[in-house]
Amino acid sequence: MVLVCVALAGWILAVWLLLRQPRVPTSPPDDYLKPVSPADLPVDPLPACAVVLDMRPLQAKIIAELHVQPMIDADAEIRRSVDFLKQYLTHSIYTSLVLAISGGQDSTLAGKLAQMAVQELRDTTGDDYKFVAIRQPYGKQRDEDDAQAALTFIQPDVIVTTDIQPATDAMTTALRAGGLTVDDMSRGSIKPKMRMIAQYAVAREHNGIVVGTDHAAEAFAGFFTKYGDGGTDINPLWRLNKRQGRQLLVALDAPAHLYDKVPTADLEDDRPQLPDEVALGVSYQAVDNYLEGRDVSEQDATQIESLYLASQQKRHEPITIYDTWFY
């Protein structure tokens, strides 16, 4: 891939330089043919392909594993995801897509794609395909207005609300009765598992599959709860980083405040609305640049690679005797 990219970058650079040369006038000036110095060249950025020429070894592996592209066509990726969802439904026994909507960038995007997919299937087949959006607050959600704005944008066929607080609190009480401490981080892990249970209950009643929101800028770090928000049937955002997901929402005319807001999983009671970037220890901008094959600081690269290596088991099915990836 690197060799192909080098050749492509060289070809583009040659054509680019040729086109940037001034047109020859009828009577060229005396200095027209003087050599062009690097300082005289235009500063337009080179194509994104050129940024992958000198990647770190592990960076190239991560990009290949997560299938991240250095640049995308937003409309083409929207169509690709919608067709992917349609293809799975039409080759399965299921007739609905089910997804929890939080009001953040990822669920807003996945929800819109899901609604588009079932609408197109209804239009072309006449069958009763549906998208079921689930609201799953823990008691009262601090950014409930964003969740409602996302639902208004998506226009789901069905909306179901399941408050996970009673189930989460009951599980916490039961575990503490068994002698466990169940600190705030543990409770933060229980919440998405309760949501997963409810999502599959809703999916069961609507003959549906559970849609996930996992994407490359989270998957690299295992930044999800295994068998929680990571417990899904189909992931239409897989391959996109955070920046690219935002590009798709812009192309879909989503409300800007839904993709401009600070991303947060909001799982911890002691640190409500904790930004993802604080939890990760690295900015999404650095993560996106890394995943697109660009240069990032040594500190950011080290943090990204440490998170990747420490979370490999979360990106795999349960380990069997035939697995070798861990040694």
Question: Catalytic site residue 317?
Answer: no
Cα–Cα distance between 326 and 318 in angstroms, integer?
12
The tokens for 34 are 């003087």
Sole residue written with tokens 């239009």: 123
Report how far apart the first and last C-alpha atoms of the chain are (Å, whole number): 26
- Of 106, 146, 276, 288, catalytic: 106
The partner residues of 275 in beta bridges, in order of sequence, read: 264
Cα–Cα distance between 29 and 33 in angstroms, integer?
9
Angle at CA of residue 191, ends 106 and 62, nearest 5°: 45
- Of 77, 157, 214, 218, catalytic: 218
Cα–Cα distance between 299 and 308 in angstroms, integer?
14
- The residue among 282, 319, 12, 263 whose CA lies nearest residue 143 is 263
Question: Catalytic site residue 144?
Answer: no
- The residue among 116, 163, 112, 317 whose CA lies nearest residue 230 is 317
Report the length, in residues, of the chain.
327
Catalytic center residues? 106, 218
